[in-house]
Structure 1
Amino acid sequence: MKIGILTFHHINNYGATLQACALWSFLNSQGYDVEIIDYRPLKIVWKYLRPLIPLKKPEKVFVNIPRAWKMRRFLLSHVKLSNKKFYDKKGLKYYHNKYDVLICGSDQIWCLDSFRGFDSAFFLDFVSNQTTRKISYAASFGNTVNLGIYQEKIYHLINQFQTILVRDSNSAKIINYECNKKVIKVLDPTFLINYDSIKTTPKITVKYLLLYIHAEIEPEEEEFIKTLANSENLTIVSVDKPNNLAQINLESASPKEWVGLYSQASYIVTNTYHGTIFSIIFQKPFNVFLRSEKQNKVTDLLKDLNLENRIFSVREKPQSLHHEIFDIDYESVSRILEFKVLESKKCLLQAISSGTVDDRSKVACNQE
């Protein structure tokens, strides 16, 4: 059986890179002939390349060429990409009969409110459900709350899928109410694999607080970070964008180095979805700074694992920090997570093998 995956795999982002790798790795471990379709919409490529081109009004977008190159090398060495590369969705018609199963996801491939807008290719419109089994795995609408002018078009496309697996309740609600399609909520694919072979131990010899932040830090958040680091004698390490709070800035870390930093951190502060996930995977004490554009998916994940108290609140003054902020009942979290991992794997494999999830699996797979 030949399987194709269509997802965000080529952007300069650790979460996107690792989710693509994780989904491919899990399916490959099950013995499937699987590859990621090397589709790079020109709109997305331009967004990431534009800051490198001299303009009268340069874009305020952080682009790190060494890191982008490391991410590319990581993908080439850890997943199988399709032989052909396309920048326009018209080229995807080449794959109309190349796969037995085609999977779209994970990540915010269906988000309508980002600069990417609506791209019907991520709803697999270039293949027929008569010849190719269409499945989504952990696909997400992100912060999109309704389909608006695209409702009729997406309704038609979604109803050509044999199985819809999404990663958050907001996406499940949209599919349920606007597409009248049964849907199952599953875990992000980064939860499905082990990272022993996908990490590099950092060379940092001191205990550190890891920052993985994609937005400006508010004054209350900055005070919290400083107080926490000082009280525990932790060096502040920032990975990704440079941060003035950090004593060590690692702007060009590879995905392996990024994972390694998570595995050895004494504390983690993030405002990202995958930053939250890897804090949980490595069972680290952490806090999340919520941002409105990430609120749906981060809150949904933390609620499912009974970890809502890891969301930072400005009402909690830094001077009142106590050692309990390091205490997370990961034994309880692990029990929940272990069940959800098994459930997610079962739903995906069942969808691949039969095209639909049988009645017993629907119950086990937490159908929404």
Structure 2
Amino acid sequence: MKIGVLTQPLHDNYGGLLQAYALKETLQSLGHEVVIINRRGKERSNFRKIASIIKNKIKGTEPNPKTLLSKEDKKIISQNTLAFRNKYIPNLSRPFTSDKDMKNLNSMGFDAYVVGSDQSWRPIYSPSIQNYFLDFAKDEEKIKRLTYAVSFGVSHWEFTEADTKACATLAKKFDAISVREESGIHLVKNYLGAEAIHSLDPTMLLKTEHYLKITKAENVMNNDGDLKVYILDKTEEKQRLINSIESKLGLKQFEVMPNKRIQKDKVDKIEDYVYPNPAKWIKGYEDAKFVIADSFHGTVFAILFNIPFIAIGNNHRGMARFESLLKMFGLQNRLIIDPQNIDVDEILKTDIDWIRVNEILKQEREKALRYLKMNLK
């Protein structure tokens, strides 16, 4: 089958890139031809950028510096993630930037569309949410439609009334719906009037050996440390927790991130904002003896690599993702909400039963592969 995979726009987010890569690899291993559909939002014109600056000045707020960068600066920042994408996800389509343009997909000869994973069914993250319910193919009767581990990101409903009505109609055309969070099953039933099953994140469909081949092929150097820190939203409270664990375990913390955060700092020397290669990010899990992350995929890879960890929940980015993932593996005690109000020693002295975790992972992989095979034939 020729399959079009519709996921979140692929930028510099390591989890986003690796989930697309993993789903592509899995579908190809089942004998399918795969194209990742490059759905993107429209590039803002210089006029709109200037208007945004004026609007923020009137409000007395600072604009997000990233939205004001030139195309040249963005290329510099993304040089490593782009190189990874070009090498490991070469089957990316041309960019599609409008609802009208998306209809051109119907002439590309797809036998099936798979939507997912990541937060593809979260309106605030997806350009034109109805596209992610395949509105552009609503009259294509012979096309197979399914999702794989598609995520709403949260456990509450964020769609507008109009989008809810339209997406409910479109959802009923799907041959099968698989969601990444347990709460997604209830959202699909209660708001879309359809049935769904719970599935693993695509990155967990691949074994660690698969990822180690990437780090070996890229000849990645060892990281300078053994306590991997992957914090997307830094705070003083989180840093104090990290320092405490570093001291208690006698480890050395390290990050695989740009030297500076463009959302927080004013942009001066652009080279300081370059994202390291995703292979270097993966290598961090080879090198780590402990992981601290406030990222969903940062937590996923700790589980995959059997590294003891603490996950710091992130309400804004979607708490349901953490809760569902950790419940699946019986690791709810590794999730903390308030870094200031936890018993670190209690968590650190509690060992993880990796034999049990890996058995659950094996069973969930088998279930996921059965789902894909059954619905793509």
Deviation at residue 82 of structure 1 after TM alignment: 4.7
Q: Compared with structure 1, are the counterparts of its residues 53 and 14 closer, same or farther at alpha carbon in structure 2 (3 Å cutoff)?
A: farther
Residues 60-92 of structure 1: CA distance to partner in whole angstroms, max 9, x if unpaired?
A: 559875452222221221124355322223112
Aligned counterpart, 1:124 = 134
Contact 1:202–1:261, Cα closer than 8 Å, also in 2: no
Contact 2:155–2:320, Cα closer than 8 Å, also in 1: no
Deviation at residue 250 of structure 1 after TM alignment: 9.5
Aligned counterpart, 2:362 = 338
2:121 counterpart letter in structure 1: W
Q: Find the residue that maps to 2:79 and give its secondary structure.
A: helix
Q: Find the residue that maps to 2:153 and give its secondary structure.
A: coil
Residues of 1 paired with 2:50 and 2:297: CA distance? 26
Given the alignment, which residue of 88, 108, 116 partners 1:105? 116
Q: Find the residue that maps to 2:279 and give its secondary structure.
A: helix
Contact 2:39–2:127, Cα closer than 8 Å, also in 1: no
Contact 2:189–2:195, Cα closer than 8 Å, also in 1: yes
1:237 counterpart letter in structure 2: F
Aligned counterpart, 1:70 = 80
Q: Find the residue that maps to 2:16 and give its secondary structure.
A: helix
1:160-199, aligned counterparts within 5 Å?
160-193=173-206, 194-199=210-215
State the TM-score, normalized to the length of structure 1: 0.84
Query: After the TM superposition, which of the residue ranges 120-129 and 187-196 deviates more from structure 2?
Result: 120-129
1:318-329, aligned counterparts within 5 Å?
318=344, 320=345, 324-325=349-350, 327-329=351-353
Aligned counterpart, 2:300 = 277
Query: After the TM superposition, which of the residue ranges 223-232 and 183-192 deviates more from structure 2?
Result: 223-232
Contact 2:4–2:114, Cα closer than 8 Å, also in 1: yes
Contact 1:212–1:239, Cα closer than 8 Å, also in 2: yes
Contact 1:133–1:161, Cα closer than 8 Å, also in 2: yes
Structure 2 residue 179 is matched with structure 1 residue 153 = no
Aligned counterpart, 1:2 = 2
Q: Which segments of 5 or more consecutive residues in structure 1 lack a partner in the other structure?
A: 354-368
Q: Which segments of 5 or more consecutive residues in structure 2 lack a partner in the other structure?
A: 55-61, 262-271
Query: After the TM superposition, which of the residue ranges 257-266 and 233-242 deviates more from structure 2?
Result: 233-242
Contact 1:201–1:264, Cα closer than 8 Å, also in 2: no
Q: Compared with structure 1, are the counterparts of its residues 241 and 295 closer, same or farther at alpha carbon in structure 2 (3 Å cutoff)?
A: farther
State the TM-score, normalized to the length of structure 2: 0.82
Q: Find the residue that maps to 1:85 and give its secondary structure.
A: strand
1:28-47, aligned counterparts within 5 Å?
28-42=28-42, 46=44
Q: Find the residue that maps to 2:148 and give its secondary structure.
A: strand
Contact 1:129–1:161, Cα closer than 8 Å, also in 2: no
Structure 2 residue 372 is matched with structure 1 residue 348 = yes
Give the share of equivalent positions with the same residue, in percent: 26
2:255 counterpart letter in structure 1: S
Residues of 1 paired with 2:302 and 2:77: CA distance? 21
Residues of 1 paired with 2:356 and 2:212: CA distance? 23
Contact 1:214–1:241, Cα closer than 8 Å, also in 2: no
Aligned counterpart, 2:320 = 296
2:286 counterpart letter in structure 1: S
Q: Compared with structure 1, are the counterparts of its residues 261 and 163 closer, same or farther at alpha carbon in structure 2 (3 Å cutoff)?
A: same
Deviation at residue 9 of structure 1 after TM alignment: 4.3
Residues 103-140 of structure 1: CA distance to partner in whole angstroms, max 9, x if unpaired?
A: 1111111112x264652111111113512111111111
Q: Compared with structure 1, are the counterparts of its residues 217 and 175 closer, same or farther at alpha carbon in structure 2 (3 Å cutoff)?
A: same
Q: Compared with structure 1, are the counterparts of its residues 227 and 214 closer, same or farther at alpha carbon in structure 2 (3 Å cutoff)?
A: same
Deviation at residue 167 of structure 1 after TM alignment: 0.6
Residues 243-286 of structure 1: CA distance to partner in whole angstroms, max 9, x if unpaired?
A: 89xxxx99621111111112211111101110110010111011
Residues of 2 paired with 1:51 and 1:346: CA distance? 47
Q: Find the residue that maps to 2:234 and give its secondary structure.
A: coil
Given the alignment, which residue of 264, 286, 290 partners 1:263? 286
Residues of 2 paired with 1:124 and 1:196: CA distance? 35
Contact 1:14–1:255, Cα closer than 8 Å, also in 2: yes
Residues of 2 paired with 1:262 and 1:115: CA distance? 27
Quote the RMSD (CA, aligned, Å). 2.8
Q: Compared with structure 1, are the counterparts of its residues 308 and 60 closer, same or farther at alpha carbon in structure 2 (3 Å cutoff)?
A: farther
Q: Compared with structure 1, are the counterparts of its residues 307 and 46 closer, same or farther at alpha carbon in structure 2 (3 Å cutoff)?
A: farther
Contact 2:230–2:294, Cα closer than 8 Å, also in 1: yes
Q: Compared with structure 1, are the counterparts of its residues 340 and 315 closer, same or farther at alpha carbon in structure 2 (3 Å cutoff)?
A: same
Contact 1:288–1:310, Cα closer than 8 Å, also in 2: yes
Residues of 2 paired with 1:28 and 1:121: CA distance? 24
Q: Compared with structure 1, are the counterparts of its residues 77 and 202 closer, same or farther at alpha carbon in structure 2 (3 Å cutoff)?
A: closer
Q: Find the residue that maps to 1:269 and give its secondary structure.
A: strand
Given the alignment, which residue of 122, 125, 133 partners 2:144? 133
Query: After the TM superposition, which of the residue ranges 221-230 and 186-195 deviates more from structure 2?
Result: 221-230
1:16-27, aligned counterparts within 5 Å?
16-27=16-27
Contact 1:111–1:118, Cα closer than 8 Å, also in 2: no
Which has more helix, going by share of residues?
Answer: 2
Aligned counterpart, 2:57 = none
Contact 1:38–1:81, Cα closer than 8 Å, also in 2: no
